[in-house]
Amino acid sequence: MKDFFEAIQSLFEDVLFIPFDALRTLEASTWWGANTLNWLFIAITFVAFIYWMLQLKGFDDEKEERKDVKSHPFLGKNPELD
């Protein structure tokens, strides 16, 4: 059983952590190079957020959303029930 867990340890340390080791050595030479992946994720998130907001504005402009439905009485009166 001990060999099984040592094999898992070897797999992670010798194979799966190679990209992280490369980033750690790259960070010593250039901060921007080591954080390129982070900036890429930030850019993708920003573009997705802008796209989502434009889609919501488009649906709001076309009046496709029903805003008269209330799920709880404390949110306002539901005209369909009165």
Task: Please give the structure tokens belonging to residue 76.
Answer: 């306002």
Would you state the pLDDT for residue 37? 86
Q: What phi and psi values does residue 33 have, to the nearest 5 degrees?
A: -65, -40
Can you give the residue ranges of every domain in the chain? Answer: 1-34, 35-67
**Which pTM does this prediction carry?**
0.56
Mean pLDDT across 60-79: 69
Sequential DSSP letters for 7-64: HHHHHIIIIITHHHHHHHHHHHH-HHHHTHHHHHHHHHHHHHHHHHHHHHHHHHHTT-
